[in-house]
Amino acid sequence: MDLNQARFNMIEQQIRPWEVLDTQVLSLLSVVRREDFVPLAHKALAFVDMEIPLGAGTGQAMLAPRVQARLLQELALQKSDKVLEVGTGSGFMAALMAHQAASVLSLEIDAALAAQAQAHLQRTGVSNATVRVADGSLGAAADSPFDAILLSGSVAQVPAALLQQLKVGGKLVAIVGDEPMMRATVVTRSSDSSFTTAEPWDCNAPRLCGFAEPSRFTF
């Protein structure tokens, strides 16, 4: 396989047509090698428009390239930003964000995945991203406030505890809702006590572990 050609095709045929037009994001995707973060058994799928399983029994997956790219575009990170990610997975999103921000703290509930992701980041020379084994639904209050928070997976609803860890002017990006229709959700903290929410596009994604699900009544 010609990896550079496959990467080019991924960007031009999957990502750009999905309204990812930020030149910094597109350039970054051509530099940060996605194949270095994919499980060895699935290397051939690194550039395919699909979710890639991250180990037997974890129930977790690497999001499709176009979804990761559009989430990154929504964050609109600045070089001075302090970022929190929930759901490290392979570490690829942490690597992308680390290239755009000052620092990234990524929380992963599965210790084995966290260790693999940290190894991927170290091997690829990313020094300003740290992976921590933790329940991401609680965030990292002791390290807050953050300029940006990314949930790298879906949740039924965004916990208030995470929103309180945003700086004023900061934003949280997540995929919220239930199948078959989830929405990319961008929450911006406009003041100490107020938030604004936008839902710019539809997208389904695997559930993040550890987040509460609403009660469902059946009759």
Q: Residue 60: its pLDDT value, please?
A: 87
- Provide the domain limits for residue 187: 3-202
Residues of the chain falling short of pLDDT 70: 56-58, 215-219
106 falls within a domain = yes
Q: Which two tokens stand for residue 83?
A: 């970022």
Number of domains the chain is built from: 1
Q: Which two tokens stand for residue 140?
A: 């990292």
- Radius of gyration (Cα) for the chain, nearest Å? 16
24 falls within a domain = yes
Q: What is the CATH number of the domain that holds 187?
A: 3.40.50.150
Using an 8 Å Cβ cutoff, are 57 and 73 in contact? no
209 falls within a domain = no
212 falls within a domain = no
Give residue-wise pLDDT tens across range 7-58: 999 999 999 999 999 999 999 999 999 999 999 889 899 999 999 999 766 6
46 falls within a domain = yes
219 falls within a domain = no
Q: Which two tokens stand for residue 200?
A: 């710019």
218 falls within a domain = no
49 falls within a domain = yes
